[in-house]
Copies of this chain bind each other. A is one copy, B any other.
């Protein structure tokens, strides 16, 4: 059996940055080649970044991706890397984008993989299974491919597949078995989701058994708008043995020698294949020199605990949002409470304290301990601390308008929003928002007040998890002999918005230990009222919580767009990546 030295390049591309991503691929291929790799695999759509969303409909962008791929092949050869087989994901098209059902079948944009070798594109593969649920909209963007591409590399038949191809039974992996391949390369842009790593390995094992082939799974890392890609690249043999597994959330080069079955002469694939697919074959090399030096063996990294995993995901998501969009720094309001403390600690971990501005904006309702806890957090983390009292501005509004009740409460939060945005205009930091998911779900926040800001690291974190994260981060600091960043008082005290005298969250909301499980069932689990009651929740509390969520939805009605009269209004039918470096001009 031939031994191939495989390299998985778990890298962090940027959407739209074709030139930068090509440079990334060249430098990592150089590293892999220096380690003696025969076959190097990069993630899904690494050349364009992922997901590119409506950029797919821009022909100039598709053409630029195609040209960048050809140029990458020649550049790699010019770099002296032409003998290495390099698998990269990119955006292709074999016709105009398919935006309505009347397009000719088989024409349109493709989520594609190419195997580059000897200065040319040796073969290409178009993704067969297109995910169209959750964060994915690929039926909108791509046409499904129907041909498995098999390349013979060093005498081993290697099939190319992309991401979702792995998540559905049948299709390319079943065809790979029929085609008798020895290795399936699966390139991914697989977004992080709590506990997804727990299902990934069993899934790869199932498909390796289905294909009767080793699987080389490579996933990107990095933040792209709401998404974080987590890495977790791995190689699994047909009998389910995990040969190597990369860490989560960091760029990483896996190099691993793998014994693979020799292809048995010129292959044919006759008869009907699963899912109506076909097979195309190309020979890159019948034989390669055996790997030199000591055997390459990647580590097997065990996934970390939930809190550590979420913390890393939030840090990476924030750092990449700030850096890929080229913001110099961030600014956030520090109330002394747990949410802003956790966001500040995340920001300091992501960017360093010198790129984080924390603003205490006390009012007449701010308690002494709130001001002190905010200052204490600043001291512990070393962030740039400012104080901007809001009372003069609040008083001027109150002197000029007749306001009462919730209008006065919200006014304070809105004055804070104006201050943060003024600082953002004056000094260019991105404003961070600090509302947790429980608050957002029940509408316990001020529209255009504390909701002002460009990025909210904890928008998908339930309040009870915010506390767990704070405790975990402090314990982690203690374990390492560092100062815990979050004041104990911010963790321990009862939560309050401090917008009216003596106000506490518990005046309005059930305890978060009661609230969060109901919200998780209703929002994450799509359970109805009866389902929630059946799962053991108090019917009266369920009704109260659902009423609050409905009221919160009412806020959406006050920050929605307007009427559309064309296919391209700004809004839901115009889905552009926010983090996007694609520019039409040179």
Contact = CB atoms under 8 A, between A and B. Distances in A.
A134 interface: yes
Given A100-B133, A396-B396, A457-B563, 13 more contacts: A60-B528, A135-B572, A135-B573, A223-B563, A226-B564, A321-B563, A393-B400, A401-B422, A405-B425, A430-B558, A431-B558, A453-B558, A528-B584
A568 interface: yes
B192 A565 contact: yes
A272 interface: no
Interface residues of A, number: 127
Interface string A309-338: 010011001100100010100000000000
Contacts of A565: 192-194, 228, 310, 313-314, 460-461
Count of chain copies: 2
A447 interface: yes
**Which of A60, A327, A455, A566 has the most C-beta atoms of chain B within 10 angstroms of its own C-beta?**
A566
B528 A557 contact: no
Contacts of A454: 557-560
A410 B425 contact: yes
17 contacts: A60-B530, A135-B572, A191-B564, A317-B563, A327-B557, A392-B396, A393-B400, A397-B419, A424-B558, A454-B560, A455-B561, A456-B561, A459-B562, A459-B569, A460-B562, A460-B566, A543-B585
Given A528-B60, A550-B583, A407 B393 contact: no
Contacts of A58: 526, 528
B529 A584 contact: yes
Contacts of A318: 562-563
A233 interface: no
Interface centre among A415, A426, A564 (most CB of B within 10 A): A564
A585 B547 contact: yes
Contact of A566 (B399, B448, B524, B580): B524
A129 interface: yes
Interface in A3-29: none
A524 B403 CA distance: 43
Contacts of A131: 100-101
B573 A134 contact: yes
Given A396-B393, A570-B440, A135 B457 contact: no
A106 to B, nearest CB: 15
Interface in A394-430: 395-397, 399-407, 410-411, 414-415, 417-419, 421-426, 430
Given A318-B563, A421-B448, A426-B407, A169 B585 contact: no
Interface string A25-66: 000000000000000000000000000000001111100000
Given A223-B563, A459-B561, A576-B553, A132 B132 contact: yes
A227 interface: yes
Contact of A59 (B60, B313, B404, B528): B528
Contact of A418 (B226, B325, B411): B411
A433 interface: yes
A507 interface: no
A191 B228 CA distance: 35
A65 to B, nearest CB: 13
Nearest to A544: B585
B399 A426 contact: no
Contacts of A550: 583
B425 A569 contact: no
Nearest to A531: B60
A226 B569 CA distance: 9
A99 interface: yes
A250 B561 CA distance: 23
A547 B583 CA distance: 9
A578 interface: yes
A538 interface: no
Interface in A521-543: 522-524, 526, 528-531, 543
Interface in A145-203: 164, 167-169, 191-194
B578 A557 contact: yes
A431 B562 CA distance: 12
A388 interface: yes
